[in-house]
Structure 1
Amino acid sequence: MADAVLFEFLHTEMVAELWAPDPDPGSGGKKKSLSVLEGLGFRVGQALGERLPRETLAFREEVDALRFLCKDLWAAMFQKHMDGLRTNHQGTYVLQDNSFPLLIAMGSGPQYLEEAPKFLAFTCGLLCGALHTLGFQSLVTASVASLPACNLQALEGHMCFRQGNEKTARVPGGGAVP
């Protein structure tokens, strides 16, 4: 329990520090902040993946790797399993968490939905980094229709973060993260 609370405090402080208002509105400060949060998550996901037992790293199918993320990695990070994993059998997977721990503390309402992307960027990077270590290149996006639920979508290609249809940041997945 204490580990979960410490992680939530660390995550909140990390978001608050990196989401500082940019004095130059034309420099894309929010996009850069999302990229930095995703980059941190990517590195943490890689580190978690490198500490996995060797037999875990031998996934041959994407769906097996994603099942592992939904059950084992999610339980290690948030002390719970994901609520759902769906696929279209063409390389797109939707991971659903109806009580995402990093969004539970937020209120409900449209004004809070605008704040949700900054709390999901680190997690998108974390999943992308873990998938990279497992040998899968991915594009991880997140969307929030209602708080505290979130949908994470894993695709092949690059990692990026989205809320709805608006793309807000992009970091090369599998390559060097700034």
Structure 2
Amino acid sequence: MEMVDLMYRTTADSKNDKESVFYKLEVLGYQVGQSLVERFTRDRPRFGDTLDVDVYVLQDNNFRWFLRMSTEGGGAEATKKAVLYLWFPCGLIRGALNNLGVVSVVIAETTVLPQCTFQIKIAKS
């Protein structure tokens, strides 16, 4: 995930700059998710009925992006730095669902590497 490192390194240390990096990563993931669904569902019909309001929790115990991640401090420091890498997949999931006609909010968290949890809140549209 070179793009995450590049965006993070090229910003100043102010809180607003970091939030703009998070936003850019999420938007980039959103666009990729929309493009992937558009490509994969090109020859398939759209969903006929949308889902009700619901919350889905997806837990990945071996999230590939975190498998070889480590820092000198390890533990809490590594987990804190790993959160930056979750913005892109959150956007990717949200973009994919949006292109399928499902309005959602995606939140991710990690407490122990390489595990992460995605919480997907779906609203009836």
Shorter-chain TM range is: 0.7 to 0.9
Equivalent residue number for residue 39 of structure 1: 27
Equivalent residue number for residue 102 of structure 2: 136
Question: Is the partner of 2:95 in helix, strand or coil?
Answer: helix
Rounded Cα–Cα distance in structure 2 between residues aligned with 1:59 and 1:114: 41
CA RMSD of aligned residues (A): 2.0
Higher RCO (CA 8 Å, separation ≥ 6 residues): 2
Find 1:122's aligned residue among 85, 88, 112.
88
Partner deviation per Cα, 1:114-139 (whole Å, 9 max, x = no partner): 10111111000000000001100110
Quick check: 1:25 aligned with 2:14? yes
- Structure 1 residues without counterparts, runs of 5 or longer: 1-10, 63-88, 158-178
Change (3 A) 1:134 1:32: same
Change (3 A) 1:102 1:129: same
Change (3 A) 1:120 1:24: closer
Q: 4+ residue stretches of structure 1 with deviation over 6 A?
A: none
The answer on whether the counterparts of 2:66 and 2:114 sit within 8 Å (CA) in structure 1 is yes
Equivalent residue number for residue 38 of structure 2: 50
Count of residue correspondences? 119
Normalising to structure 2: TM-score of the pair? 0.85
Normalising to structure 1: TM-score of the pair? 0.61
Identical columns (%): 35
Equivalent residue number for residue 77 of structure 2: 111
The AA in structure 2 aligned to 1:20 is: R
